[in-house]
Structures are given as C-alpha cells and as structure tokens.
C-alpha cells in the first residue's frame, strides 16, 4: 500500500534542511491548536480517538517491521522513478489504442463512451513509429516491475498502521490507494500474460487493459498531486550522492517521522541503501536485457531467452516470428491454391486478379518493420503491389479508406480498415514476397498487407478482397 | 473564504481540493467500471482487480518476507560459534540470485510452467518446451556468479587480514545478522 497523507501535521513544519523532531520546538502557526505531541483529528473526533485507542494486536507501529532501510527517502526515490517513467507507459498505451483506428470502430473496446480519445489519423511515418510505441509500452512496463514491487515493499507497513485514519480525508485517500495499487498490478498482470499468450484470465485482454488503465491513470494523477510535496521534501532530506557512498556498516535508519514508514525497532542493516537501490536497478537491467531483443531484433533477439519472440520459427527468408499460424486461422491449402484470386471493389465494377496478374503488375520493394501490440517486432524486406496502384485499378484512385478482408473467417483480425494515408503511402503494399521468395503460408501466402507504422494485426494476411471506399 | 476553508479542513481533515481530486478519481474509476458491464465477463475482471489489490501486500510480500527471514535466521543459526561474525556475510550473495530468479519466474512463469499451450501454439507455431530449462540454467548461472563473487570477496578479505595475524580474526560485533 502506498502512504496516505499523514494527518494535518501537529508538529512544527519541517522547513527544507531542518530536521525538527517531535515536540522539540513550537511555532506560532500551530501553537494555538493542539499540543505538539497530539495528532489532530477530523470530524467526528470522538470516533477517531476511540478507534486509535482500540488497537487490534499486531497492527500499528509493530516491532515486526525490522528493516532499517524503510523510510520516506527510500520510498520517494522509487516514487520519483515511477513518476518520470509511468507517464511514458500510460501515454504509449493510449496512443496504441488510437493506432488501432477507433474511427473505424476497430480499436478494442469499440464503444468506450466518454473515455473516447481524441481521434486523428495515425501517421505512416516514421515506419518504426508503432514499433517504438509498443517497444516502450511493453518494454518499459516490464522493466519497471521491480521498481513497482520495491515501492510496494517500502510502504507495506502503512497497510497495517493504526489508527487506519484520523479523519474522513484519510479514509477516502486510503480507498483511492486500492485503485492505485489494484490498477497498477492489474495492468501488469494482464499485460504480462498477454505478451505470453497465456489467457488465464478468461476475459478480453483489450477491454480489461483499457479500462484498467483508466482506473490506474485517475488514481495515479491524484496520488501524485497529493504526494508530490511529501516526495520532494523527503528527497531533500538526504543526499543521493552521499547515500551512494555509504556502506552497509554505516547505514542507519532515517529519522522517525509522521509517515509510519520508519521501523520503531530496526534490526542492523544487512544491506546498504546503495545496495538496495542496486538490487532494484539490477533487477530492472536484467529484465531489460532479457526483453529488449524482442523489439530490437537482430542478434539481440537471442537475449530474449524467456519471451516467445526471442525465438524464430526457423531459418531462411520466412524464418521470422509469426503472429497467427495458417493452421490456427483455418486456412485450407485449397483456398490459397491456383483458384485464389483477389477481388477489388468500390469502383464501377469489381476487378478480379489472380496471383499471376498481381505479379505482372509493377512490383515495389520496401524494408519495413512489423510490430505487434505485444511489443515484439521484426524488420523484413517485402515485395508486392502498391495499394495505391490497386486503388487506381479498381477505379478509386483516392479512397477515403480501404476495407481489407482475409480468407480467415473466425479470428478477431480477419479484416481491417486502412486510413487514406495508409492506403496511398508509396510503401504500403499488398506483399506477395518477403526477402525475395514467396510468402510462407504462415506469413500470409498468397498475399498480405504491409503498411508502415501500422499495428501488426492490421497487416492482414491471406487477403481475399480490398474494398476501396470513397471519402 | 479563508475561514470556510479552514472550517472544512477541521471537519474533513484536509483541504477541500483534496476531496475534489479524490471524488474525481472515484468518478472516473466508477465510470470505467460501469463501461466494462457491457462485457459479459465483467465479474471476472472485477475479481482479478480485487486480487490485484491484495496480490502484493497479502500474498507476495508474506512469501518473500518469510523466505528472507528464514534465510537470515538459518545463516545466524549455522555459525560455528555464537561470538564470531562471518568474515564476509553470505546473506546478500544468496539473496541477490534468489531474488533475480524469483523475479524472472514471476514475469515469465507462463512459458516456464507451459501454461496456455494452445494459444501459444496458435500465435507462434511453437511449443513452450525450452523455457523451463532456460530458466533453470539462468538461475544456476546467477548462483554460480554469486558464488564466484563471494569466493573472491572472501579471498580478498582473508588476504587483507593475513599479515596482521594468523587466519581470520573475529570482527568487532556490528550486526545481529550475518
């Protein structure tokens, strides 16, 4: 649990640099109210006082909390790291929703009421835009897990503090922490499972992760607003540089304060603050090393030892990660044989093209990454017909959007709608080949879409028809 | 106005803006939760959210805290004599690799215990067969590196103290724990 606001401080205000202790001095601003030693209570005073007196065994400033490292400074260091980094995870997450094309109803969940995001056409350049976005969202999300856990460890005594509150304000604030902690751990759990295709939870990942994200976002913003002054004060109370030079033998607890974080009966330090920070940072670095490869590709992919996308499904031109196999998509070989043809609609009359005809059209080659919402990506050299050429052939040279239909019947991504810029970009292709050879069945033979900066699943495989829609 | 604010503060326990911000936060959360009710699976989502609320503080934390306290207790108990502190405390050389291996398991357990085999196969065309062995090898490597680091540290400490006396001498008693 994270720290609720301490009660309105009955003690002298701690000005930067001064470490005043309980009852040591008295200032004009508070001397008129309670005596310095007694904390102040909100309404109804009697209730909060009675609550404080009836402490259940085991709760309160228990001697069971022994770590000499816990304290406002250490908590604030973790908090500061999360304050800087979590907004990146949140923003890239929301951007990914926009990249899915909510204007076509194909972002999931589709109907989000007032939680609709400002709509804009997702850009097609730079081609690695979605790769960067998801690499940051998933990569940073994973790397921050040790920091989140360390932050939760550092404030865990607060959960068992007694009294749980001295005012209505503290009750409400503690309730908001359920949203904060539940929100971040819910997002981490669903995200982690989704990147590993373990749908243990049994609900729609997209829906849960989107709304869970909003719940966390609200609680996070309010928590920062309430805690920022405390964090700044605590960070100023000790010098990071000094802490990084302090060995275990010289590590002592932070001075006791109103935050309930500092142990009343601390054990001797078995690790310095420097060591604790190194452990958390080391954990984050370890995850970074084991994760970055799935996004960066190349030789670094081999370092992603424990992630699905650290492996490739074989050698050769088609030996790069697959998103959904032809078998799983129930693509029958007969459907992709010589009888296959592409249907172009939207013009005066439908145009039918078989693979021979497509290969006879002007071919264009582009080196483009394909990046998945799960954070992994791979850059390959694709060859095929420009979507713009197909639009002209269909008789709709400047379509407002393009609806792509796959041979795949069942899956959620058997179809996708492309924006105008995604259709007309010179590197937007109906790819027939990859790395100089025909696409393999798993990569979408006989033809697939590849568009710069488009979310991976919208690069439809086993394409059956393209419907060019007027603006 | 000032008096009104200070009255609210006395009653409520914080500045009125505190209340407004928190009410905004609850309203947003409530609205988001309401939106999920369109999904027939919303009760499951709620259960998972509640599990996430207690997931660290009441599940994960007791497990690792107990493990760590057991480790420090055992290390304390197996000292040859009560009076001698170890030349170099071993605790962190066990903690760090155990923590790292535990962290990797926490993040990558679906592959390690081969959970979600069907969806994994559908998405990748592969099985999760290699992950358990890989995780065990990484764990072994982490402990091995830690053991080497400990040996080096111990050797250096011995060497540092050797000229002044014969063999390791008891250190001034600094810590209750190793």
Q: What is the 3-state secondary structure (H, E, C) of chain B?
A: CHHHHHHHHHHHCCCHHHHHHHHHHHHHHHHHHHHHCCCCCHHHHHHHHHHHHHHHHHHHHHHHHHHHHHHHHHHHHCCCCCCCCCCCCCHHHHHHHHHHHHHHHHHHHHHHCCCCHHHHHHHHCCCCCHHHHHHHHHHHHHHHHHHHHHHHHHHHHHHHHHHHCCCCCCCCCCCCCC
Report DSSP state, residue A215.
Answer: H
Which neighbouring-strand residues pair with A419? A401
Q: What is the pLDDT along chain B (178 residues), one digit of tens a residue?
A: 789 999 999 999 999 999 999 999 999 999 999 999 999 999 999 999 999 999 999 999 999 999 999 999 999 888 777 667 788 899 999 999 999 999 999 999 999 999 999 999 999 999 999 999 999 999 999 999 999 999 999 999 999 988 655 445 545 444 444 4
**Residue-level pLDDT at A2:** 43
**Is pLDDT at A228 greater than 60 in this prediction?**
yes
Between CA A309 and CA A293 the distance in angstroms is 8
Q: What is the enclosing helix (H) or strand (E) of A44?
A: none
Quick one: pLDDT at residue B178?
41
Residue A37 has pLDDT above 60, yes or no: no
Radius of gyration of chain A (CA): 29
**With bands split at pLDDT 50, 70 and 90, how would you rate the model's confidence at A313?**
confident
Mean pLDDT of chain A: 91
Question: DSSP assignment, residue A455?
Answer: B
Q: How far apart are CA A347 and CA A226, in angstroms?
A: 59
Largest CA distance in chain A: 92
Q: Taking CB atoms and an 8 Å cutoff, what residues of chain A touch B178?
A: 270
Do A196 and B177 make contact, defined as CB atoms within 8 angstroms?
no
Q: A9-13, A77-81, B68-72: lowest mean pLDDT where? A: A9-13
Report the candidate in A354, A468, A436, A456 with the shortest Cα–Cα distance to residue A133.
A456
Report the C-alpha gap between B60 and B67 in whole angstroms: 11
> Which pLDDT score, from 0 to 100, does residue B167 have?
47
Nearest CA in chain B to A182: B53
- Inter-CA distances, A259 with A136, A155, A263, B171, Å: 34, 10, 11, 36
Average pLDDT over residues A415-430: 98
Torsion sign (Cα): A61, A65, A66, A71? negative
Q: Which residue of B46, B48, B54 is the best one to mutate when testing the A interface, meaning the one whose CB has the most A CBs within 10 A?
A: B48
Within 10 A of A115 (CB to CB), how many other CB atoms are there?
18
CA–CA distance from A208 to each of A136, B12, B36 (Å)?
Answer: 20, 34, 8
Above pLDDT 70, what percent of chain A?
92
Give the closest of B9, B12, B41 to A204, CB-based: B41
Distance from CA of A25 to the nearest CA of B (A): 23
Say which DSSP state A196 is in. Answer: T
The per-residue pLDDT for range A86-95, each reduced to its tens digit, is 999 999 999 9
What is the rounded end-to-end Cα distance, in angstroms, of chain A? Answer: 52
pLDDT at A385: 98
Q: What is the pLDDT of residue B82?
A: 62
Average pLDDT over residues A192-221: 97
CA A461, chain centre distance (Å): 27
Say which range, A15-19, A125-129, B15-19, has the weakest mean pLDDT.
A15-19
| Whole-number Cα distances in Å, A310 to A129, A130, A275, A321 | 21, 19, 31, 9
What confidence score (pLDDT) does residue A447 get? 98
A422 φ, ψ to 5°? -75, -25
Give the separation between CA A294 and CA B109, rounded to whole angstroms: 17
Chain B residue with minimum CA distance to A205: B45
Q: Do A196 and B18 touch (CB under 8 A)?
A: no
Nearest CB neighbour to B177, from listed A208, A267, A290: A267
With bands split at pLDDT 50, 70 and 90, how would you rate the model's confidence at A410?
confident
Q: Which of A324, A321, A375 is closest to A191 using CA atoms?
A: A375
Residue A176 is predicted with a pLDDT of 98
Q: Which of A309, A303, A291 is nearest to A135 (CA)?
A: A291
Domain residue ranges of chain A, discontinuous segments joined by +: 42-290, 333-469
Q: What is the pLDDT, as a whole number, of residue B83? A: 67
Question: Considering just the CA atoms, what is the radius of gyration of chain B in Å?
Answer: 27
- Say if the Cβ atoms of A167 and B111 lie within 8 Å: no
Backbone angles phi, psi at A368, to 5 degrees: -135, 145
Residue pLDDT, tens place only, A38-47? 678 999 999 9
**Is any Cβ of chain A less than 8 angstroms from the Cβ of B134?**
yes
Enumerate the residues of chain B whose CB falls inside 8 A of the CB of residue A179: 25-26, 29
Q: Is the pLDDT of residue A267 over 60?
A: yes
CATH number for the A333-469 domain, one of 3.40.50.300, 3.30.110.30, 3.90.420.10, 3.40.50.10860? Answer: 3.90.420.10
Give A278's contacts in chain B (Cβ within 8 Å). none
Residues of chain B neighbouring A190 (CB-CB closer than 8 A): 48
Mean pLDDT of A180-207: 97
Instruction: Indicate yes or no: CB of B103 within 8 angstroms of CB of A112.
Output: no
pLDDT band at A140 (very low <50, low <70, confident <90, very high): very high
Report ipTM (2 d.p.): 0.90
pLDDT tens, position by position, A330-384: 999 999 999 999 999 999 999 999 999 999 999 999 999 999 999 999 999 999 9
Amino acid B173: pLDDT: 47
pLDDT of A426 > 70? The answer is: yes
Cis previous bond, B17, omega within 30: no
Please say whether the beta carbons of A192 and A138 come within 8 A. no
């Amino acid at each position: 649990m994270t720290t609720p606001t301490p009660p309105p401080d009955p003690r002298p205000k701690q000005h930067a640099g001064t470490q005043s202790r309980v009852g040591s001095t008295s200032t004009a601003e508070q001397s008129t109210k309670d005596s310095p030693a007694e904390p102040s209570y909100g309404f109804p005073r009697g209730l909060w006082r009675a609550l404080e007196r009836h402490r259940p065994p085991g709760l309160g400033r228990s001697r069971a909390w022994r770590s000499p490292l816990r304290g406002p400074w250490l908590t604030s260091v973790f908090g500061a790291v999360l304050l800087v980094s979590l907004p990146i995870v949140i923003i890239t997450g929301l951007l990914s929703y926009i990249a899915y094309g909510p204007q076509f109803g194909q972002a999931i969940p589709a109907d989000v009421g007032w939680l609709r995001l400002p709509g804009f056409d997702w850009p097609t350049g730079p081609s690695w835009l979605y790769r960067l976005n998801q690499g940051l969202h998933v990569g940073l999300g994973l790397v921050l897990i040790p920091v989140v856990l360390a932050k939760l460890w550092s404030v865990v005594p607060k959960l068992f503090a007694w009294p749980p509150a001295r005012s209505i304000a503290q009750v409400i604030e503690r309730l908001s922490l359920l949203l904060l902690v539940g929100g971040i751990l819910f997002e981490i759990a669903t995200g982690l499972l989704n990147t590993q295709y373990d749908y243990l939870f049994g609900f729609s990942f997209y829906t849960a992760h989107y709304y869970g994200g909003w719940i966390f976002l609200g609680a996070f913003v309010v928590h920062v607003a309430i805690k920022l002054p405390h964090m700044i004060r605590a960070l100023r109370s000790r010098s990071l540089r000094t802490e990084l030079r302090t060995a275990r033998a010289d590590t002592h607890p932070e001075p006791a304060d109103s935050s309930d974080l500092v142990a009343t009966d601390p054990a001797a330090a078995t690790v310095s603050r420097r060591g604790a920070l190194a452990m958390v940072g080391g954990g984050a670095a370890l995850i970074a090393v084991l994760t970055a490869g799935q996004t960066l590709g190349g030789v670094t992919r081999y370092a992603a030892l424990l992630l699905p996308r650290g492996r490739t499904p074989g050698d050769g031109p088609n030996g790069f990660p697959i998103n959904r196999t032809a078998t799983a998509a129930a693509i029958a070989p007969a459907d992709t044989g010589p009888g296959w043809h592409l249907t172009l609609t939207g013009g005066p009359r439908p145009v039918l093209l078989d693979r021979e005809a497509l290969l006879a059209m002007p071919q264009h080659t582009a080196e483009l990454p394909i990046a998945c919402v799960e954070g992994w990506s791979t850059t390959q050299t694709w060859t095929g017909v420009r979507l713009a050429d197909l639009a002209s052939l269909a008789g709709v040279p400047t379509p407002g959007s393009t609806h792509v239909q796959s041979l795949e019947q069942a899956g959620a991504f058997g179809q996708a709608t492309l924006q105008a810029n995604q259709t007309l970009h010179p590197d937007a292709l109906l790819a027939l080949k990859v790395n100089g050879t025909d696409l393999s069945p798993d990569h979408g033979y006989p033809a697939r879409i590849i568009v710069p900066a488009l979310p991976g699943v919208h690069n439809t495989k086993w394409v059956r028809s393209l419907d060019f829609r007027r603006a | 106005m000032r008096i009104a604010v200070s009255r609210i503060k006395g009653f409520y326990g914080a500045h009125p803006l505190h209340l407004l911000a928190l009410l905004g936060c609850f309203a947003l959360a409530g609205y988001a939760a309401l939106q999920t009710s369109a999904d027939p699976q919303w009760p499951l989502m709620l259960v998972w959210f509640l599990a996430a609320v207690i997931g660290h503080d009441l599940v994960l934390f007791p497990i690792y805290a107990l493990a760590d306290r057991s480790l420090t207790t055992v290390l304390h108990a197996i000292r040859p004599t009560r009076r001698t502190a170890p030349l170099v405390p071993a605790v962190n050389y066990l903690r760090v690799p155990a923590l790292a291996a535990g962290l990797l398991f926490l993040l990558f357990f679906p592959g390690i215990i081969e959970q979600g085999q069907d969806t994994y196969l559908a998405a990748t065309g592969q099985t999760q067969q290699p992950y358990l062995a890989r995780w065990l090898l990484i764990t072994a490597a982490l402990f091995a590196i830690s053991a080497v680091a400990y040996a080096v540290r111990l050797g250096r400490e011995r060497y540092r103290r050797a000229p002044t006396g014969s063999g390791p001498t008891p250190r001034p008693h600094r810590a209750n724990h190793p």
